[in-house]
Structure 1
Amino acid sequence: MKKELLIRTFQLDDCQGLVPLYDQLGYPVDVATLAHRLPTMLTKEDYHLLVATMNDQIIGFIGFVQMKMFEADGDYIRILALVVDETSRRQGIAQALLNRVKFFAKQKDIRNLAVNSGITSEREAAHAFYENEGFIKVSFGFKCQI
């Protein structure tokens, strides 16, 4: 049976399949939380979530938002989350997801994409992926919990 990659818009039924991917991304969550969080977020027109499936199994997703730039005129796309199941990596799935976002951006005449990625050793492969896809390191990210 040939495996066929399909990239489509998130559906509420996808929450169960996203749970293990969130865990692999380092953000454990349960189905009920996702079933509340994602539809709430995705009612905002600038937020988007695409899932990658193979043989009806969710194997990856990318979440992104269209935002205004403060430092220049126009919009940019910020990738909020990108993950491919560890058993399906290095098969071009993350690249296919990212290409769909790039296509979305070009359709809206948006030329800039941004992404943050953790600075742990576990993220080194992700950093190499982003650099291979044309991203360059331009800043440090900071976080503060209050």
Structure 2
Amino acid sequence: MGELGYPTTTEEMEHRFSKINSNSMYNTLVAEESGVIVGMIGMILGFLYEKNDNYVRVVALVVDSNSRKQGIGEKLIEKAEEWAKEHGANGIVLNSGNRSERKDAHQFYLKRGFQGKSTGFVKTLT
């Protein structure tokens, strides 16, 4: 998560993942090279209110900065598309921050057929 700009301790990630892993609507895939994790994609199956369709939301996609531009992210997206189809989803959605350091990520998504179609809003609850 640190590679995405979200510093996280091992304990925090273990806590988060225990909740995620116990929910069958989530799927987490990792990419390994020589036994070392170099990338991951986390997604959740969702259902639309306005149509009779399923979709998959990519919640996290990260490739280690030393392993980028080697096709790892593309392979993870391909696996996400396969999982989505297996679960009857007809689309994949994701959010990517509007920070300058995300510019390359935005180009990555556009090259893989994603379209910028919405604006996200966030409200922090206290």
TM-score range, shorter chain: over 0.9
Deviations 1:100-129 (A, max 9, x none): 010111122211100000001100110001
Deviations 1:24-73 (A, max 9, x none): 10111101111111021211110111111100011010000000112211
- Which position in structure 2 is the counterpart of 1:106? 85
Q: Pick from 66, 71, 81 the counterpart of residue 92 of structure 1.
A: 71
1:111 counterpart SS class = strand
| CA distance, structure 2, for counterparts of residue 109 and residue 75 of structure 1 | 6
Unaligned runs of 5+ in 1: 1-21
Q: Pick from 105, 115, 124 the counterpart of residue 94 of structure 2.
A: 115
Structure 1 outlier segments of 4+, above 6 Å? none
2:114 counterpart SS class = coil
Q: Pick from 62, 68, 74 the counterpart of residue 47 of structure 2.
A: 68
Report the CA distance between 1:74 and its aligned residue.
1.7
Identity value in percent:
36
Unaligned runs of 5+ in 2: none
- Which position in structure 1 is the counterpart of 2:119? 140
| CA distance, structure 2, for counterparts of residue 73 and residue 32 of structure 1 | 39
How many residue pairs match? The answer is 125
2:89 counterpart SS class = coil
**1:1-146 to 2 correspondence within 5 Å?**
22-146=1-125
